[in-house]
Structure 1
Protein backbone atom coordinates (compact mmCIF):
# COMPACT_ATOMS: atom_id res chain seq x y z
CA UNK A 1 0.00 0.00 0.00
CA UNK A 2 1.59 3.35 -1.05
CA UNK A 3 2.36 5.82 1.73
CA UNK A 4 1.15 9.39 1.82
CA UNK A 5 4.11 11.65 0.97
CA UNK A 6 5.53 12.80 4.30
CA UNK A 7 4.17 9.86 6.31
CA UNK A 8 7.48 8.01 6.34
CA UNK A 9 9.03 6.85 9.62
CA UNK A 10 12.13 8.63 10.84
CA UNK A 11 15.31 7.37 12.48
CA UNK A 12 18.51 9.09 13.52
CA UNK A 13 21.55 7.35 14.95
CA UNK A 14 23.03 9.58 17.63
CA UNK A 15 24.45 9.12 21.10
CA UNK A 16 23.80 6.77 23.99
CA UNK A 17 20.46 8.33 24.96
CA UNK A 18 17.53 7.13 22.88
CA UNK A 19 14.08 8.61 22.36
CA UNK A 20 11.08 6.73 20.99
CA UNK A 21 8.37 9.03 19.62
CA UNK A 22 4.81 7.93 18.86
CA UNK A 23 2.27 9.76 16.71
CA UNK A 24 -1.46 9.77 17.36
CA UNK A 25 -4.59 7.92 16.22
CA UNK A 26 -5.21 8.34 12.45
CA UNK A 27 -2.10 10.56 12.27
CA UNK A 28 1.39 10.00 10.88
CA UNK A 29 5.04 10.61 11.85
CA UNK A 30 4.73 13.99 10.10
CA UNK A 31 3.09 15.48 13.21
CA UNK A 32 6.21 14.67 15.27
CA UNK A 33 8.91 15.02 12.62
CA UNK A 34 10.04 18.54 13.68
CA UNK A 35 10.27 17.32 17.29
CA UNK A 36 12.26 14.26 16.24
CA UNK A 37 14.67 16.34 14.17
CA UNK A 38 15.15 18.81 17.02
CA UNK A 39 16.14 15.99 19.38
CA UNK A 40 18.39 14.47 16.72
CA UNK A 41 20.26 17.75 16.38
CA UNK A 42 20.87 17.62 20.13
CA UNK A 43 22.80 14.38 19.65
CA UNK A 44 20.13 11.86 20.64
CA UNK A 45 19.31 8.58 18.94
CA UNK A 46 15.73 9.02 17.75
CA UNK A 47 13.14 6.52 16.53
CA UNK A 48 9.79 7.66 15.11
CA UNK A 49 7.95 4.66 13.63
CA UNK A 50 4.80 4.68 11.52
CA UNK A 51 2.03 2.75 13.23
CA UNK A 52 0.35 -0.04 11.20
CA UNK A 53 -2.58 1.15 9.13
CA UNK A 54 -1.54 4.79 9.35
CA UNK A 55 -0.31 6.98 6.52
CA UNK A 56 -1.99 4.96 3.76
CA UNK A 57 -5.82 4.81 3.75
CA UNK A 58 -8.40 4.73 6.49
CA UNK A 59 -9.76 1.57 4.89
CA UNK A 60 -6.46 -0.19 5.56
CA UNK A 61 -6.43 1.16 9.09
CA UNK A 62 -9.85 -0.40 9.71
CA UNK A 63 -8.13 -3.79 9.68
CA UNK A 64 -5.83 -2.83 12.56
CA UNK A 65 -6.33 -2.18 16.27
CA UNK A 66 -4.46 -1.00 19.34
CA UNK A 67 -2.58 -4.28 19.73
CA UNK A 68 -1.04 -3.79 16.26
CA UNK A 69 -0.04 -0.19 16.97
CA UNK A 70 1.39 -0.99 20.38
CA UNK A 71 3.20 -4.02 18.95
CA UNK A 72 5.04 -1.76 16.52
CA UNK A 73 6.13 0.44 19.42
CA UNK A 74 7.32 -2.57 21.41
CA UNK A 75 9.46 -3.63 18.46
CA UNK A 76 10.92 -0.13 18.04
CA UNK A 77 11.54 0.15 21.77
CA UNK A 78 13.40 -3.18 21.81
CA UNK A 79 15.67 -2.06 18.97
CA UNK A 80 16.34 1.30 20.61
CA UNK A 81 16.96 -0.27 23.99
CA UNK A 82 19.54 -2.58 22.41
CA UNK A 83 21.62 0.43 21.37
CA UNK A 84 21.00 2.98 24.12
CA UNK A 85 21.56 2.56 27.88
CA UNK A 86 18.95 5.26 28.53
CA UNK A 87 15.65 5.31 26.65
CA UNK A 88 12.84 7.86 26.92
CA UNK A 89 9.36 7.46 25.40
CA UNK A 90 7.24 10.35 24.15
CA UNK A 91 4.01 10.73 22.26
CA UNK A 92 1.12 12.85 21.06
CA UNK A 93 -2.51 12.08 21.96
CA UNK A 94 -2.98 8.30 21.73
CA UNK A 95 0.79 8.10 21.29
CA UNK A 96 1.10 9.58 24.77
CA UNK A 97 -1.19 6.87 26.10
CA UNK A 98 0.93 4.15 24.53
CA UNK A 99 4.09 5.79 25.85
CA UNK A 100 2.62 5.43 29.33
CA UNK A 101 1.82 1.80 28.56
CA UNK A 102 5.48 1.19 27.67
CA UNK A 103 6.44 2.70 31.02
CA UNK A 104 3.99 0.41 32.80
CA UNK A 105 5.32 -2.70 31.07
CA UNK A 106 9.05 -1.97 31.04
CA UNK A 107 9.57 -0.21 34.36
CA UNK A 108 13.06 1.19 34.85
CA UNK A 109 14.00 0.40 31.24
CA UNK A 110 11.97 3.52 30.42
CA UNK A 111 13.87 6.47 31.84
CA UNK A 112 11.01 8.96 31.55
CA UNK A 113 7.83 9.84 29.66
CA UNK A 114 6.76 12.99 27.83
CA UNK A 115 3.15 13.11 26.64
CA UNK A 116 1.51 15.90 24.65
CA UNK A 117 -2.26 16.12 25.12
CA UNK A 118 -2.42 12.43 26.02
CA UNK A 119 -5.64 10.48 25.55
CA UNK A 120 -6.16 8.01 28.40
CA UNK A 121 -9.90 8.36 29.10
CA UNK A 122 -12.90 7.44 26.97
CA UNK A 123 -14.41 10.92 26.70
CA UNK A 124 -16.42 10.18 23.53
CA UNK A 125 -19.76 8.59 24.52
CA UNK A 126 -20.37 7.39 20.96
CA UNK A 127 -17.38 5.05 21.28
CA UNK A 128 -19.39 2.90 23.66
CA UNK A 129 -21.54 2.03 20.66
CA UNK A 130 -18.60 1.46 18.33
CA UNK A 131 -18.58 -2.37 18.66
CA UNK A 132 -22.09 -2.35 17.17
CA UNK A 133 -21.73 0.74 14.98
CA UNK A 134 -18.76 -0.72 13.10
CA UNK A 135 -21.07 -3.21 11.39
CA UNK A 136 -23.30 -0.40 10.10
CA UNK A 137 -21.07 2.65 9.59
CA UNK A 138 -17.50 1.98 8.38
CA UNK A 139 -16.20 5.49 9.12
CA UNK A 140 -17.07 8.81 10.71
CA UNK A 141 -15.56 12.30 10.21
CA UNK A 142 -11.91 12.55 11.22
CA UNK A 143 -10.30 14.41 14.13
CA UNK A 144 -7.24 15.75 12.32
CA UNK A 145 -5.92 19.29 11.98
CA UNK A 146 -6.88 20.72 15.36
CA UNK A 147 -4.16 23.37 15.01
CA UNK A 148 -4.38 27.05 15.93
CA UNK A 149 -1.39 28.21 13.88
CA UNK A 150 -2.40 29.40 10.44
CA UNK A 151 -1.02 27.70 7.37
CA UNK A 152 -0.08 24.44 9.12
CA UNK A 153 -1.65 21.13 8.13
CA UNK A 154 -1.46 17.77 9.87
CA UNK A 155 -0.99 14.80 7.57
CA UNK A 156 -3.77 12.50 8.76
CA UNK A 157 -6.98 10.81 7.67
CA UNK A 158 -10.09 12.88 7.11
CA UNK A 159 -12.16 9.83 8.11
CA UNK A 160 -11.95 7.74 11.27
CA UNK A 161 -12.42 3.98 10.79
CA UNK A 162 -14.99 2.88 13.34
CA UNK A 163 -13.66 -0.67 13.59
CA UNK A 164 -10.22 0.61 14.61
CA UNK A 165 -11.71 3.15 17.03
CA UNK A 166 -13.73 0.39 18.67
CA UNK A 167 -10.49 -1.11 20.02
CA UNK A 168 -9.50 2.06 21.92
CA UNK A 169 -11.58 1.56 25.10
CA UNK A 170 -9.72 -1.67 25.85
CA UNK A 171 -6.39 0.14 25.68
CA UNK A 172 -7.60 3.01 27.85
CA UNK A 173 -8.93 0.61 30.48
CA UNK A 174 -5.68 -1.33 30.53
CA UNK A 175 -3.52 1.76 30.88
CA UNK A 176 -5.73 3.20 33.61
CA UNK A 177 -5.68 -0.05 35.58
CA UNK A 178 -1.86 -0.12 35.75
CA UNK A 179 -0.93 3.55 36.11
CA UNK A 180 0.33 2.71 39.61
CA UNK A 181 3.27 0.99 37.90
CA UNK A 182 4.46 4.28 36.40
CA UNK A 183 7.14 5.44 38.83
CA UNK A 184 9.31 7.21 36.25
CA UNK A 185 9.18 11.00 35.91
CA UNK A 186 6.35 12.05 33.59
CA UNK A 187 6.08 15.40 31.82
CA UNK A 188 2.70 16.24 30.28
CA UNK A 189 2.02 19.15 27.96
CA UNK A 190 -1.63 20.19 28.00
CA UNK A 191 -3.53 22.55 25.70
CA UNK A 192 -6.51 24.07 27.55
CA UNK A 193 -8.05 24.70 24.11
CA UNK A 194 -8.05 21.12 22.85
CA UNK A 195 -10.99 20.19 20.59
CA UNK A 196 -10.10 16.49 20.40
CA UNK A 197 -9.14 15.29 23.90
CA UNK A 198 -11.11 16.62 26.85
CA UNK A 199 -9.51 17.64 30.21
CA UNK A 200 -10.55 14.35 31.86
CA UNK A 201 -7.34 12.63 30.74
CA UNK A 202 -5.01 15.13 32.42
CA UNK A 203 -7.27 15.17 35.47
CA UNK A 204 -6.93 11.41 35.82
CA UNK A 205 -3.15 11.54 35.43
CA UNK A 206 -2.93 14.20 38.15
CA UNK A 207 -4.94 11.95 40.48
CA UNK A 208 -3.01 8.75 39.74
CA UNK A 209 0.60 9.82 39.16
CA UNK A 210 1.08 12.23 42.04
CA UNK A 211 4.45 13.88 42.61
CA UNK A 212 6.27 12.29 39.67
CA UNK A 213 3.99 14.16 37.24
CA UNK A 214 4.68 17.66 35.91
CA UNK A 215 2.02 19.37 33.79
CA UNK A 216 2.91 22.34 31.55
CA UNK A 217 0.11 24.38 29.95
CA UNK A 218 0.25 25.32 26.26
CA UNK A 219 -1.85 28.49 26.08
CA UNK A 220 -1.45 29.16 22.37
CA UNK A 221 -2.00 25.71 20.84
CA UNK A 222 -4.80 23.27 20.11
CA UNK A 223 -4.57 19.46 20.10
CA UNK A 224 -1.73 18.91 17.61
CA UNK A 225 0.58 21.10 19.67
CA UNK A 226 3.75 19.63 18.16
CA UNK A 227 2.92 21.55 14.95
CA UNK A 228 1.37 24.54 16.67
CA UNK A 229 2.46 27.86 18.20
CA UNK A 230 3.89 26.25 21.37
CA UNK A 231 5.94 23.60 19.57
CA UNK A 232 9.28 25.11 20.59
CA UNK A 233 8.19 24.99 24.24
CA UNK A 234 7.61 21.25 23.86
CA UNK A 235 10.86 20.63 22.00
CA UNK A 236 13.09 22.60 24.37
CA UNK A 237 11.28 21.39 27.48
CA UNK A 238 11.56 17.75 26.48
CA UNK A 239 15.28 18.16 25.88
CA UNK A 240 15.70 19.74 29.31
CA UNK A 241 13.67 16.86 30.79
CA UNK A 242 15.99 14.33 29.14
CA UNK A 243 19.09 16.19 30.29
CA UNK A 244 17.78 16.25 33.87
CA UNK A 245 16.97 12.53 34.01
CA UNK A 246 19.51 10.81 31.75
CA UNK A 247 22.25 8.81 33.44
CA UNK A 248 24.67 9.05 30.50
CA UNK A 249 25.76 12.00 28.31
CA UNK A 250 23.39 12.98 25.52
CA UNK A 251 26.11 12.88 22.87
CA UNK A 252 28.87 10.38 22.24
CA UNK A 253 32.36 11.40 23.30
Structure 2
Protein backbone atom coordinates (compact mmCIF):
# COMPACT_ATOMS: atom_id res chain seq x y z
CA UNK A 1 0.00 0.00 0.00
CA UNK A 2 1.44 3.37 -1.01
CA UNK A 3 -0.38 6.56 -0.08
CA UNK A 4 -3.25 6.23 2.37
CA UNK A 5 -4.38 9.82 2.79
CA UNK A 6 -7.50 9.17 0.71
CA UNK A 7 -8.81 6.90 3.43
CA UNK A 8 -8.38 9.09 6.48
CA UNK A 9 -11.84 8.19 7.74
CA UNK A 10 -10.48 4.76 8.62
CA UNK A 11 -6.86 5.64 9.32
CA UNK A 12 -7.01 9.14 10.81
CA UNK A 13 -7.37 10.39 14.38
CA UNK A 14 -10.18 8.86 16.41
CA UNK A 15 -11.95 10.71 19.22
CA UNK A 16 -14.45 8.88 21.41
CA UNK A 17 -15.89 11.39 23.88
CA UNK A 18 -16.65 10.44 27.47
CA UNK A 19 -17.27 12.04 30.83
CA UNK A 20 -16.04 9.49 33.38
CA UNK A 21 -13.04 10.26 35.60
CA UNK A 22 -10.75 8.37 33.19
CA UNK A 23 -9.24 9.57 29.94
CA UNK A 24 -7.51 7.02 27.71
CA UNK A 25 -4.79 7.57 25.13
CA UNK A 26 -4.32 4.77 22.56
CA UNK A 27 -1.20 4.80 20.35
CA UNK A 28 -0.58 2.90 17.12
CA UNK A 29 2.69 1.37 15.91
CA UNK A 30 5.54 2.31 13.61
CA UNK A 31 4.57 2.76 9.91
CA UNK A 32 0.95 1.90 10.81
CA UNK A 33 -2.24 3.91 11.39
CA UNK A 34 -5.03 4.22 13.92
CA UNK A 35 -6.87 1.41 12.10
CA UNK A 36 -4.60 -1.10 13.87
CA UNK A 37 -5.84 -0.03 17.31
CA UNK A 38 -9.31 1.42 16.61
CA UNK A 39 -11.17 -1.74 17.62
CA UNK A 40 -9.15 -1.89 20.87
CA UNK A 41 -9.94 1.78 21.55
CA UNK A 42 -13.65 1.26 20.95
CA UNK A 43 -13.68 -1.71 23.35
CA UNK A 44 -12.02 0.42 26.04
CA UNK A 45 -14.59 3.16 25.43
CA UNK A 46 -17.26 0.62 26.45
CA UNK A 47 -15.96 0.73 30.03
CA UNK A 48 -18.49 2.54 32.23
CA UNK A 49 -18.34 3.94 35.74
CA UNK A 50 -21.08 3.48 38.35
CA UNK A 51 -23.12 6.28 36.78
CA UNK A 52 -22.85 4.76 33.30
CA UNK A 53 -20.37 7.36 32.01
CA UNK A 54 -17.76 6.33 29.43
CA UNK A 55 -14.07 7.26 29.43
CA UNK A 56 -12.85 9.82 26.91
CA UNK A 57 -10.62 8.01 24.40
CA UNK A 58 -8.15 9.70 22.03
CA UNK A 59 -6.33 7.85 19.23
CA UNK A 60 -3.97 10.23 17.41
CA UNK A 61 -2.41 9.60 14.00
CA UNK A 62 1.29 10.06 14.77
CA UNK A 63 3.38 12.50 12.68
CA UNK A 64 4.65 11.02 9.41
CA UNK A 65 2.02 8.27 9.39
CA UNK A 66 -1.04 7.68 7.23
CA UNK A 67 0.37 9.41 4.13
CA UNK A 68 3.51 8.07 2.41
CA UNK A 69 6.67 6.53 3.84
CA UNK A 70 8.84 9.45 2.69
CA UNK A 71 6.97 11.67 5.18
CA UNK A 72 7.91 9.32 8.00
CA UNK A 73 11.59 9.50 7.00
CA UNK A 74 11.60 13.20 7.89
CA UNK A 75 10.26 12.87 11.44
CA UNK A 76 12.52 13.08 14.50
CA UNK A 77 11.39 10.89 17.40
CA UNK A 78 10.63 14.04 19.38
CA UNK A 79 7.78 14.81 16.95
CA UNK A 80 6.03 11.60 18.06
CA UNK A 81 6.69 12.37 21.72
CA UNK A 82 5.37 15.94 21.41
CA UNK A 83 2.23 14.81 19.57
CA UNK A 84 1.53 12.30 22.34
CA UNK A 85 2.12 14.98 25.01
CA UNK A 86 -0.45 17.22 23.36
CA UNK A 87 -3.04 14.42 23.50
CA UNK A 88 -2.11 13.67 27.12
CA UNK A 89 -2.73 17.27 28.23
CA UNK A 90 -6.03 17.37 26.33
CA UNK A 91 -7.17 14.35 28.36
CA UNK A 92 -5.81 15.74 31.64
CA UNK A 93 -7.88 18.88 31.13
CA UNK A 94 -11.07 16.79 31.20
CA UNK A 95 -10.33 13.74 33.36
CA UNK A 96 -8.85 13.00 36.80
CA UNK A 97 -6.99 9.93 35.59
CA UNK A 98 -5.17 9.17 32.35
CA UNK A 99 -4.42 5.66 31.11
CA UNK A 100 -1.87 5.31 28.30
CA UNK A 101 -2.08 2.38 25.88
CA UNK A 102 0.07 1.41 22.93
CA UNK A 103 0.91 -1.24 20.37
CA UNK A 104 4.56 -1.74 19.41
CA UNK A 105 6.17 1.72 18.99
CA UNK A 106 2.99 3.08 20.55
CA UNK A 107 3.87 0.98 23.60
CA UNK A 108 7.29 2.61 23.82
CA UNK A 109 5.64 6.04 23.54
CA UNK A 110 3.11 5.08 26.23
CA UNK A 111 5.95 4.10 28.59
CA UNK A 112 7.93 7.23 27.69
CA UNK A 113 4.84 9.25 28.65
CA UNK A 114 4.26 7.26 31.85
CA UNK A 115 7.85 7.98 32.92
CA UNK A 116 7.37 11.75 32.52
CA UNK A 117 3.72 12.38 33.30
CA UNK A 118 1.17 11.41 35.90
CA UNK A 119 -0.68 8.36 34.64
CA UNK A 120 -2.91 5.89 36.48
CA UNK A 121 -2.37 2.82 34.34
CA UNK A 122 -0.55 1.48 31.29
CA UNK A 123 -1.85 -1.07 28.75
CA UNK A 124 0.71 -2.43 26.30
CA UNK A 125 0.51 -4.84 23.37
CA UNK A 126 3.95 -6.14 22.34
CA UNK A 127 5.68 -2.87 23.25
CA UNK A 128 8.82 -2.07 21.26
CA UNK A 129 11.82 -1.74 23.53
CA UNK A 130 14.04 -4.03 21.43
CA UNK A 131 13.61 -5.25 17.84
CA UNK A 132 14.04 -8.81 16.57
CA UNK A 133 16.11 -7.63 13.58
CA UNK A 134 19.58 -7.01 15.00
CA UNK A 135 20.56 -5.06 11.88
CA UNK A 136 18.03 -2.41 12.88
CA UNK A 137 20.47 -0.91 15.36
CA UNK A 138 22.77 0.09 12.48
CA UNK A 139 20.01 1.81 10.56
CA UNK A 140 21.52 5.27 11.12
CA UNK A 141 24.59 4.14 9.16
CA UNK A 142 22.64 2.58 6.30
CA UNK A 143 19.95 5.25 5.89
CA UNK A 144 21.95 7.43 3.50
CA UNK A 145 22.75 4.55 1.17
CA UNK A 146 19.51 2.58 1.48
CA UNK A 147 16.59 4.94 2.17
CA UNK A 148 14.00 2.22 2.72
CA UNK A 149 13.51 -1.49 3.22
CA UNK A 150 10.54 -3.75 2.65
CA UNK A 151 7.60 -2.98 4.94
CA UNK A 152 7.32 -4.60 8.38
CA UNK A 153 3.54 -4.53 8.67
CA UNK A 154 0.92 -7.26 8.95
CA UNK A 155 2.74 -9.66 11.28
CA UNK A 156 -0.59 -11.35 11.97
CA UNK A 157 -1.26 -15.06 12.51
CA UNK A 158 -4.89 -14.96 11.41
CA UNK A 159 -4.81 -15.70 7.64
CA UNK A 160 -7.23 -12.91 6.72
CA UNK A 161 -5.60 -10.33 8.99
CA UNK A 162 -4.18 -7.27 7.25
CA UNK A 163 -2.68 -4.18 8.84
CA UNK A 164 -2.75 -0.84 7.07
CA UNK A 165 0.93 0.08 6.91
CA UNK A 166 3.49 1.51 4.53
CA UNK A 167 4.85 -0.98 2.02
CA UNK A 168 8.35 0.45 2.68
CA UNK A 169 10.11 1.15 5.97
CA UNK A 170 12.31 4.28 5.92
CA UNK A 171 15.62 3.54 7.62
CA UNK A 172 15.98 7.12 8.84
CA UNK A 173 12.80 6.56 10.85
CA UNK A 174 14.06 3.21 12.17
CA UNK A 175 17.08 5.12 13.50
CA UNK A 176 14.68 7.51 15.29
CA UNK A 177 12.71 4.55 16.66
CA UNK A 178 15.98 3.15 18.03
CA UNK A 179 16.64 6.39 19.89
CA UNK A 180 13.11 6.37 21.31
CA UNK A 181 13.46 2.74 22.48
CA UNK A 182 16.90 3.34 24.01
CA UNK A 183 15.71 6.41 25.93
CA UNK A 184 12.54 4.71 27.07
CA UNK A 185 14.48 1.74 28.49
CA UNK A 186 16.66 4.16 30.45
CA UNK A 187 13.53 5.86 31.84
CA UNK A 188 11.73 2.68 32.93
CA UNK A 189 12.55 3.12 36.64
CA UNK A 190 10.45 6.32 36.53
CA UNK A 191 7.37 4.38 35.41
CA UNK A 192 5.36 3.81 38.59
CA UNK A 193 1.83 3.26 37.26
CA UNK A 194 0.58 -0.35 37.18
CA UNK A 195 1.04 -1.92 33.76
CA UNK A 196 -0.52 -4.79 31.82
CA UNK A 197 1.64 -6.19 29.03
CA UNK A 198 -0.06 -8.40 26.45
CA UNK A 199 2.76 -10.41 24.93
CA UNK A 200 2.58 -12.74 21.95
CA UNK A 201 4.45 -16.05 22.28
CA UNK A 202 5.59 -15.57 18.69
CA UNK A 203 6.46 -12.05 17.51
CA UNK A 204 8.55 -11.46 14.39
CA UNK A 205 9.03 -7.72 14.94
CA UNK A 206 9.60 -6.96 18.63
CA UNK A 207 12.00 -8.99 20.74
CA UNK A 208 10.66 -10.93 23.70
CA UNK A 209 13.27 -9.04 25.75
CA UNK A 210 10.93 -6.03 25.68
CA UNK A 211 8.45 -7.43 28.22
CA UNK A 212 11.30 -8.77 30.37
CA UNK A 213 13.03 -5.36 30.36
CA UNK A 214 9.85 -3.70 31.53
CA UNK A 215 9.24 -6.21 34.31
CA UNK A 216 12.86 -6.00 35.50
CA UNK A 217 13.46 -2.27 35.30
CA UNK A 218 10.21 -0.41 35.75
CA UNK A 219 9.19 0.91 39.14
CA UNK A 220 5.68 -0.43 38.66
CA UNK A 221 3.68 -3.56 39.19
CA UNK A 222 3.66 -5.39 35.86
CA UNK A 223 1.16 -8.05 34.85
CA UNK A 224 2.24 -10.03 31.77
CA UNK A 225 -0.63 -11.66 29.85
CA UNK A 226 0.60 -14.24 27.33
CA UNK A 227 -1.07 -14.36 23.90
CA UNK A 228 -0.82 -17.85 22.45
CA UNK A 229 -2.63 -17.31 19.14
CA UNK A 230 -1.27 -14.01 17.84
CA UNK A 231 1.83 -12.53 16.23
CA UNK A 232 3.02 -8.93 16.60
CA UNK A 233 -0.13 -7.02 15.63
CA UNK A 234 -2.21 -8.82 18.25
CA UNK A 235 -4.92 -6.14 18.26
CA UNK A 236 -5.96 -7.45 14.83
CA UNK A 237 -5.27 -11.12 15.53
CA UNK A 238 -6.94 -14.11 17.21
CA UNK A 239 -6.34 -12.78 20.75
CA UNK A 240 -7.93 -9.37 20.11
CA UNK A 241 -11.08 -10.23 22.16
CA UNK A 242 -8.92 -11.14 25.18
CA UNK A 243 -6.94 -7.88 24.91
CA UNK A 244 -10.15 -5.88 24.51
CA UNK A 245 -11.94 -7.52 27.45
CA UNK A 246 -9.05 -7.21 29.91
CA UNK A 247 -8.30 -3.62 28.87
CA UNK A 248 -11.94 -2.61 29.21
CA UNK A 249 -12.15 -4.24 32.65
CA UNK A 250 -9.00 -2.47 33.89
CA UNK A 251 -10.30 0.95 32.83
CA UNK A 252 -13.72 0.13 34.27
CA UNK A 253 -12.25 -0.84 37.66
CA UNK A 254 -10.28 2.41 37.74
CA UNK A 255 -13.31 4.51 36.82
CA UNK A 256 -15.27 2.88 39.64
CA UNK A 257 -12.64 3.71 42.23
CA UNK A 258 -10.91 0.34 42.24
CA UNK A 259 -7.40 -0.85 41.41
CA UNK A 260 -6.25 -0.96 37.81
CA UNK A 261 -4.83 -4.49 37.93
CA UNK A 262 -7.16 -7.46 38.47
CA UNK A 263 -7.42 -9.68 41.51
CA UNK A 264 -6.64 -7.10 44.14
CA UNK A 265 -8.73 -5.56 46.88
CA UNK A 266 -10.03 -2.19 45.79
Fold in common (TM above 0.5): yes
* Unaligned stretches of 5+ residues in structure 2: 48-53, 259-266
CA distance in 1, matches of 2:137, 2:238: 34
Q: How far 1:129 moved relative to its partner?
A: 2.1
Bigger mean CA offset, 36-45 vs 81-90: 36-45
Deviation per CA, 1:76-129: give whole Å up to 9, x if none.
1111110111110000001011101111001xx211100000011254321232
CA contact (8 A) 2:124 2:196 kept: yes
Q: How far 1:132 moved relative to its partner?
A: 1.8
CA contact (8 A) 1:26 1:156 kept: yes
Q: How far 1:158 moved relative to its partner?
A: 1.3
CA contact (8 A) 1:89 1:99 kept: yes
Residue 93 of structure 2 aligns to a residue whose secondary structure is: helix
Matched, 1:13 2:3: no
Report the TM-score, using the length of structure 2 for normalisation: 0.88
Deviation per CA, 1:5-37: give whole Å up to 9, x if none.
121110011122110000000010000011111
Match of 1:34 in 2: 39
CA distance in 1, matches of 2:226, 2:160: 23
Match of 1:157 in 2: 166
Which residue of 3, 6, 11 corresponds with 2:5?
Answer: 3
CA distance in 2, matches of 1:135, 1:82: 42
Match of 1:76 in 2: 87
Match of 2:104 in 1: 93
Residues 82 and 211 of structure 1: CA distance in aligned 2, closer, same or farther (over 3 Å): closer
Q: How far 1:215 moved relative to its partner?
A: 0.1
CA contact (8 A) 1:27 1:54 kept: yes
> How many residues in Structure 1 have an aligned counterpart in Structure 2?
247
Which residue of 186, 191, 194 corresponds with 1:185?
Answer: 194
Provide the aligned C-alpha RMSD in A: 1.7
CA distance in 1, matches of 2:80, 2:224: 26
The 5 Å alignment of 1:77-226 reads: 77-106=88-117, 109-209=118-218, 212-226=221-235
CA distance in 1, matches of 2:87, 2:96: 15
CA contact (8 A) 1:13 1:44 kept: yes
Report the TM-score, using the length of structure 1 for normalisation: 0.92
Residue 114 of structure 1 aligns to a residue whose secondary structure is: strand
Which residue of 51, 63, 73 corresponds with 1:62?
Answer: 73
CA contact (8 A) 1:111 1:246 kept: no
CA distance in 1, matches of 2:170, 2:4: 18
* Unaligned stretches of 5+ residues in structure 1: none
